[in-house]
Structure 1
Amino acid sequence: MKMADNAQSNMLPEKQPNPGGSPRPIVRILLALVILSIGAGTAAYLKNSAPRTQKRPPAKLSPTVQVETVQPCGYQVVVTAMGTVIPASKLVLKSRVSGEIVGIHPEFTEGGFFKKDMKVLQIDPVDYELALVRKRSAVAEAEYALKLELGHQAVAKREWELLSGSQPAQELEEELVLRKPHLDKAGASLAAAEADLRSAMLDLNRTHITVPFNAMVRLKSVDLGSQVTPQDAMAELVGTDAYRIQVSIPVDRLEWIKIPGQAGDSGSKARIIYGQGHECDGIVIRLMGDLSDEGRMARILVEVADPLGLNTPEKDRAPLLIGEYVRVKIEGRRLDGVFKIPRTALRDNSSVWIAGEKQTLEIRKVRPVWRDADLVLLQDGLKPGERLIVSDLAAAVEGMAVRVDALKSETRSDLSAINKAGGE
């Protein structure tokens, strides 16, 4: 047992003696405390000696707006609407006599033009010429019968004078003896024969088919050799002196348009835009007496003279076509001393925004006197030189601060001046 204990004790390391006499763990602890104290002191010093920043409230940013400087001006109101071209005069051409068409004008085709009283068609006149000869013969016979009866009446009158002497006779007996009824019959027969002659002459003249006004053939339904009767339509003609445009407009626009009355005054002028940018002039001639079935719109008629340009020296003018859908700009009343603003600057249909002298927002109620798709006219509610806000704001509050975008506002003011000059 002792040998085992000695062997185990020999295996353990020998403890080294501490020359300082104090244990090492205490020194380490003290050293760590010193380092921590120095670090804490340094941190406290840096914290206390660092410059302090003063807290300020966040700056309030005013929204930027664009403005236009408004000035009163004169403006010619223009009512813009759409309409359909219709003929001012049209005719279904029919014959007043029957027969075969033996002659036809080269222009008698769709799109052909005729001047007033020009001959269009010729119906075979032979039968009517023969009828005219017979009627003239009947007139000659009636004239002969009348002259013969006048001779008989003269003889009867002399015989009556010889036989009656001084004896009175009844009026009826005298008329019969003097053959007055026979004379009346002969006169009536002559009048009837002469009337038949005039009718035959008219029928012969009616074999020449003419047009009653300057016209264009819109549709034809007969040709050379066709048999026609008075009930047959031979062609459809439209007048070329003028076309009309049936325009539909809202009822509240009528007060701006001058419509002719019984006094003979002229209507408002109009400008018609059609085709590929072609234009021509027109004039309002009538207000139709009912509203359109679709949309309950008022309807007016605008007349265009020489719609096909037949009497116009302008070679580049395009013809106006029947059935064409066109834009019509009708000249309305002129307004003076009004403020013209963009349609987008009218807020809620009844107010505008003004940038005041103190750079604050003013919300002002207005009542437009005219408005269309692009602009609004105000008679009052604005003062010359005021700055109208034309840009949008997310939330507009009376009295809120705003900043005017000087560059864009200056550009818009230049454009406004140009528009003002155009409106005047």
Structure 2
Amino acid sequence: MTHRNHQNTDQNRIAVPSEHHRIIPLLVKILLPLLILGAGIAGAAYIQKSTSKPRRRPPEQTARLVNTEPVRISDEQVVIQVMGTVEPAHELVLRPKVSGEVVSAHPEFTEGGFLEAGEEILKIDPKDYELIVTQMKSKVAEASYQLKIEMGYQDIAKREWELLNGKSSGKDPDKALATRKPHLEKAKAELRSAKAELEQARLNLARTRVCTPFSAVIRTKQAEIGSQVSSGEQLAELTGTDEYRIRVSVPVDRLKWITIPRKGGDPGSQAVVKYHDGAYQREGTVIRLLSDLDTEAHMARLLISVKDPLGLENPETGYPPLLIGEYVRVEIRGEKLTNVVRIPRTALRDDNKIWIAGKDRTLIIRQVRTVWRDNDSVFLKNGLKIGEQLITSDLSAPVHGMAIQMAGFSENE
């Protein structure tokens, strides 16, 4: 019994160590990762605390590069640029004042032909009118003869009255009849009438020669040699060549800059007429302001005179002629501006501001007053001084006082 108990006791002692061997590896597997994780967290915290934080620095301000031009004060000419249409200054529908057959015509009596003032365009058969002149001359001679005979009767009647009545005047009606005064008045009236008819006949004869009233170009013609024409019938359309006019539309607020004649002969503003895409130009003069506005654009309308538009007086210039109906560009020279600053239109900011490069190389934003603007330039009366540098280039997000660097200037200048 004692031996069996001892064996059981040994068996129990051997079984206990076996359970401890199973628990220890399990604990190692669980605790070891936890220890490693904790060590990592502790190390990271230590590194974070021991590393110095970088100091924040304000961003460096970079000077913006700009283009500039020096400010200059000068006297400038106001130029108003408009468009206009060429039209004739003088045009005429030629009509004869007598009837008959056309027996001759000028060699230039054709469309596009040129004629000087007073030249005979065509001639109507004058024979019938020459005969009438001859008849009227005879009638005048007869009336003159009758007047002379009546003058002789006047002397006889006067002497007879004096013999019968002496120096007494008698009643005026009786004396007038006795001395043939009504007969004398009738003879004189008949002579005047005959002379008037002769003058009319001569005038009709002269009208058989149809002449140009002014230097002209023939636009159209409706007669030929051999044509039978009637008084008042259209023969041709003429356009004067001494002068053309250009009708232009101008904004009403710009009329104050233009000198407009109040009556014929007064001086007007000078103008330059450019045509054929600006390749050629002619001098012109403002001569009239029309009384109504352009119905479409509600602008004022001016007439500009151009002398010798076809270059007939000075053919050596070689300029092509202006054409009726041609659309041309006109530059009207208005009043002169004194002591103003001319700047590029692109240098005007927000309609009334400019940018100046300050002496300390900073941007200065300044408000100005404009006195004139055109397509390319703006004229300023104040806001700039001689020697200042006007900034002409663009800047994104400009701020008054921001640092700038002028192109072409070194940092030390």
Fold shared by both chains (TM-score > 0.5) = yes
| More off after superposition, 180-189 vs 155-164 | 155-164
Q: Which SS does the other structure have where 1:255 is aligned?
A: helix
Aligned position for 1:16:
none
1:331-350 counterparts in 2 under 5 A?
331-350=333-352
Matches within 5 A, 1:367-382: 367-382=369-384
Does the 8 Å CA contact 2:69/2:392 hold for their aligned counterparts? no
Q: Report what 2:185 is aligned to.
A: 184
Find the partner of 1:278 among 266, 277, 280: 280
Q: Is the 8 A contact 1:65 1:392 kept in 2?
A: no
Aligned to 1:384: 386
Could you give the per-residue CA deviations for residues 244-285 of structure 1, whole angstroms, max 9, x where no partner exists?
Answer: 112211122222222334696532221110014111111222
Q: Which amino acid aligns with 2:269?
A: S
Change in CA separation of 1:340 and 1:163 when aligned onto 2, cut-off 3 Å: closer
- Residue 119 of structure 1 corresponds to which residue in structure 2? 120
Task: Please give the per-residue CA displacement for 1:111-169, whole angstroms capped at 9, x wherever unaligned.
Answer: 11111111011011121111111111111211121122223333333333344456663
- Mark the CA change 1:162 to 1:335 in structure 2 (over 3 Å): closer, same or farther: closer
Partners of 1:292 and 1:243 lie apart in 2 by 21
The match for 1:414 is none
After TM superposition, the structure 1 = structure 2 runs for residues 61-140 of structure 1, keeping only pairs within 5 Å, are 61-62=61-62, 64-74=64-74, 75-140=76-141
What is the letter of the counterpart of residue 351 of structure 1? K
In structure 2, do the counterparts of structure 1 residues 84 and 169 end up closer, same or farther at CA, with 3 Å as the change threshold? Answer: same
Rate the CA distance shift 1:136–1:45 in 2: closer, same or farther, 3 A.
closer
The separation in 1 between residues aligned to 2:73 and 2:45, in whole angstroms, is 75
Q: Which residue of 2 aligns with 1:212?
A: 213
Matches within 5 A, 1:7-406: 47=47, 54-57=54-57, 59=59, 61-62=61-62, 64-74=64-74, 75-165=76-166, 169-261=170-262, 266-276=267-277, 277-399=279-401, 401-404=402-405, 406=407
User: Structure 2-normalised TM-score?
Assistant: 0.82
Give the superposition deviation at 1:188. 0.7
**Alignment-mate amino acid for residue 232 of structure 1:** E
Q: Quote the RMSD (CA, aligned, Å).
A: 3.3
Q: 1:322 corresponds to which letter in structure 2?
A: I
- Other structure's SS at 1:279 match: strand
Q: Secondary structure at the match of 1:357?
A: coil
CA shift in 2, pair 1:112/1:41, >3 Å: closer
For residues 406 and 378 of structure 2, what CA distance do their matches in structure 1 show?
23
TM-fit CA distance, 1:367 = 1.1
- CA contact under 8 A between 1:65 and 1:389: conserved in structure 2? no
Percent identity of the aligned residues? Answer: 48
Q: Which amino acid aligns with 2:82?
A: A
Report Cα offsets for 1:281-335 as digits up to 9, x if no partner. Answer: 1122233333222222122222111111111143521101111111111222222
TM-score, normalising length: structure 1: 0.80
Unaligned runs of 5+ in 1: 1-21, 411-424
**Separation in 2 of the partners of 1:144 and 1:264?**
53
Provide the secondary structure at the position in 1 that maps to 2:321: coil
Q: CA deviation at 1:62?
A: 4.8
